[in-house]
Amino acid sequence: MSVSTAAVAPSLCAPLPVLGGDVTVPLVTGGEVAYAALDYAASAPALQRVWDDVAAYAPYYGSVHRGAGYLSQLSTDLFENARRTVAEFLDCRADDQLVFTRSTTDSLNLLAAALPADCQVFVFETEHHASLLPWRDARVTYLDAPRTPGQAVETLERALAARSVSIEGGHGPALVCVTGASNVTGELWPVRELAATAHAHGARIVLDAAQLAPHHPVSVRDLDVDWVAFSGHKLYAPFGSGVLAGRADWLRAADPYLAGGGASRKVTRREDGGVDVEWHDSAARHEAGSPNVIGAYSIASACKALTEAGFDTLVARERHLIAKVREGLADVPEVRILSLFGDDAPRVGVISFVVEGWNSSHFAAALSAEYGIGVRDGLFCAHPLVRTLLGTAPETQGECGAPEAAPGEKSLNAIRVSFGAGTPDEHVDRFVHAVRELVTEGAKWQYRTEDGRCVPAV
């Protein structure tokens, strides 16, 4: 349900300070303009708080879990304190493990490598590729896109009730993978209800919170999920870091995700010339090699900043921005917003749309070159979902081709605008104005396709 911008208190209209707010970019029509970063769903800008914390720590950087020196001890404490901070942010259970990874994709591939033998995986076709694809070595059931939250629960209920018998007889282990918020439509999924359905059938559930955690509080206990995965770079924390947190048993029973130093507790030579290895059963089991201490620390810093800002305030302000965008686009008849669950579905600040008469790559290129606005175009690493939402696309190509489109699908792509805690109102206002002006007056510049991208012609 949309929220009137007038209902938002002025105190909610101050974004959290992020890097890049003073960056200017050139326009093809001449001059420069402050860059409007509206591609948060891909990578959010770093919070100033995160950058300051990392800069303050950088002179004290040292090896983690490896050294007796002061800086090594300090870095080890900082790394493990970051683990506790993120676990508190996620409201993890006392016996959960939290593993630092490279990203959501890495986290879900780690969990896929830890699946018990003969595990069945259930995943909706609406997932981002990070949660759609890692299960290729398991028995996977892909579920059709639901058109309501209730239908999602019903679809999962039927699939779990009909799941096949394991090799040993009876129902073996099963895992459900679901997003918390769609990276295409921004719509919130009924995670708590899906978790209850999974558990009622003896299955476990992992939550892809990449798009949810930056916008809403995520409680492992309250949602009753078995694992949660997310990326630092979407949580205003750069440096190639991610998290997998949840039940420890499957992780302890699995072979290390990577074999090497840090994952091993003891290594000895055998008389036959080989080696015997005793692996850690803590999170270190899956954190071989020198860990990304700056990445872990940046996630912890972002978690603290978001918690201190208060999610009630952040959510209210985001609803104010969502209302601005949706109301602005609704005034342009040529624009169609993509949705699974309908206009009234609750959502985060991620909105995808198409414009009649425009190839989406061409439209996105014009937003950048002529207005200094950065958005995303294409299929958003969620190809089955976007194809479902778009249906049959016209065969007529636009002025520029879609970067991810297959032959015969040059018009099958969309535009995504996304924003969050660091987005000023001016960026949203400029975006809405630019959409209206492009639709009514057309582009001021000529464009061509170069290396699969639509770019201004020179």
Alpha carbon of 239 to those of 79, 296, 418: distances in Å?
Answer: 14, 9, 21
Comparing CA positions, the residue from 49, 3, 21, 15 lying closest to residue 423 is 15
Q: In DSSP terms, which residues pair with 170 in a beta bridge?
A: none
C-alpha dihedral over 218, 224, 225, 231, to 10 degrees?
10
381 tagged catalytic: yes
Q: Distance (Å, rounded) from C-alpha 291 to C-alpha 301? A: 17
The structure tokens 């960026």 sit at 427
Q: Distance (Å, rounded) from C-alpha 163 to C-alpha 173? A: 11
Q: Distance (Å, rounded) from C-alpha 181 to C-alpha 218? A: 11
Six token digits for residue 265: 């507790």
Please state the φ and ψ torsions of residue 105, each to the nearest 5 degrees: -55, -45
Catalytic residue (one of 92, 119, 303, 381): 381
Q: Distance (Å, rounded) from C-alpha 184 to C-alpha 417? A: 9
Please state the φ and ψ torsions of residue 326, each to the nearest 5 degrees: -65, -40
What are the catalytic residues?
A: 381
